[in-house]
Chains A and B, each alone.
Chain A
Amino acid sequence: MLRFGLILFGMIVVAAVLGSMVGADSADSGEPAPPTADLTAPAHQHPVEIRRPSRVSGVSTGQVDAQGHLVTVACATCHSLLGKPEPQTLELTSVEYHSFEFAHGNLTCNSCHDPEAPLQLRFADGNPVAEEDLIDLCSQCHGPQRTDFDHGAHGGMTGYWDLSRGPRTRNHCVSCHAPHAPAIPQIRPTFKPKDRFLSPSPSPSPSPKEETAAGGSSH
């Protein structure tokens, strides 16, 4: 009986609260949205910053700076590109190019560099590229990669997946790809689980099953 009374009382209270809310809504219908709406509205969006490329590549001088980084110089520091043969028309030797590695499809220096001003980059139509638009220069040929990049499917990043909570920093093309030799070189993995499958095995020839992933390091 007491429980029934409590339930009835609860229903009356709920009805009263709902009624007052409806009343308040109708009374405030002409007013602007109440400030509580800000809680559900999309919060301030933090920026997505793209890492600025540092000195992207060049010819090694064989010297290191105070931080231990290799000192490189641009070809144009010493040479004019005007009237010079293009890399793929010559055998690439350490003599001609000071060990400078060039392996970027069928491009020539002047595909991207303005021969009149070699440090100025240019589009295929000859228009200069502003520094902040360097990705557009690569996108002339690498369209699918650009599409993926624009949708977060290409290129590393750090920071926040939720931009309403914090910013994100994304890699530039040249953060990972050297512009003159863009293929990512082979690297050796440095971190491996230390388990019985990777330590020197007492048995001379482990059975093929032991080498599979399933047995590989399930503990």
Chain B
Amino acid sequence: MNEEKPTLEAGSKTGDVSRRNALKGIGATLGATAFAAAISPLRNLAKDVSPEEFFQKHYQELDDDEKTRVIERLEAEARSEYGAEVQIRDHRPIPGTRFVYAINLSLCNGNGKCVEACHQENNHDRATNQSYIRVLEMPNGTMDMEQGNTTYDHAVPAKGKFYLPVQCQQCDEPPCTDVCPVQATWKEDDGIVVVDYNWCIGCRYCEAACPYHARRFNWEKPVVPADDVNPDQGYLSNRIRPQGVVEKCHFCLHRTREGRLPACLEACPTGARVFGNILDPDSDIRWILENKRVFVLKEELGTKPSFFYFFDK
């Protein structure tokens, strides 16, 4: 026993050393492999994303020169990827405006022209008929939008139903912007909640936070034929979105910040939609808010929507 001990010790000593070395070696290999696996998305990213795009700053931190370069790059991308000549502009809020929308539910008959107009105006994915608007067919007697459904496919208006178009309510207390981990979405001075599509990381927290189901996620790269691309685009609005980002109704800010009416309003054949500046005491929208019994969706949540609904009778 005593004679063997040194041998055992020696053996165990050499065993220790080799085991340690082996473990070190295994650990280093595993670490290197894990590191390589961890950065592999970055290596793939480099194929699709130019350095300028990768290092582009948040919209609110871009100066005018940087914005110009970003917009030139995006226009070139639209040319190369979609074969369309587009003009992207950077629309800023008009001082002294606060946009508000109202819909007369006595007039809306659920024809869905607004949904289609939004689809075309905002360069939505043609493959899915994506749109920022859903028209819900609602059973009479409730204001609970969760009881509506969008899949009706019959002549409208149907008996015992009313129709509730829902899009982004441009809340004054937007839950969607609160949950964004990277501040890629925020509320601007004229009340419009916008998204910087190049800053969005696609986590979809905002989509989950919105009680109006108003946000959309680009699961795939939008498909839009060159002839169908609306060339009148805004950086924060209807430019063709990249894959993997969230988007939402922006009150057609590329139109409304130039004084024009939103596309969904112009398309409405019933005249149910009213849009305007709530800060203008002579505006149509102010008359409606003062004279109609307006209500908002899910008022109990305290989101304070800029979007109102009313009935004539």
Contacts and interface: CB of A to CB of B under 8 A. Distances in A.
Interface of A: 144, 148, 151-162, 164-166, 168, 171, 176, 184, 186-195, 197-198, 211-214, 216-219
A189 B156 contact: yes
Contacts of A148: 104, 312
B147 to A, nearest CB: 7
B261 A218 contact: no
B130 interface: yes
A153 B104 contact: yes
Contacts of B104: 148, 153-154
The 5 closest A-B pairs by CB, nearest first: A152-B284, A165-B259, A162-B259, A191-B116, A156-B271
Interface string B146-162: 11111111111100000
30 contacts: A144-B312, A148-B312, A151-B284, A152-B276, A152-B284, A153-B274, A153-B292, A154-B107, A156-B268, A156-B269, A157-B265, A161-B261, A161-B275, A161-B276, A162-B259, A165-B258, A186-B157, A189-B135, A191-B112, A193-B115, A193-B128, A193-B134, A198-B151, A212-B148, A214-B213, A216-B149, A216-B151, A217-B134, A219-B128, A219-B217
A204 to B, nearest CB: 16
Interface of B: 94, 102, 104, 107, 109-113, 115-116, 119, 127-131, 134-136, 145-157, 166, 207, 213, 216-217, 219, 256, 258-261, 265-266, 268-271, 274-277, 283-285, 287-288, 291-292, 312
B300 to A, nearest CB: 17
A137 to B, nearest CB: 19
A165 B130 CA distance: 31
A210 to B, nearest CB: 9
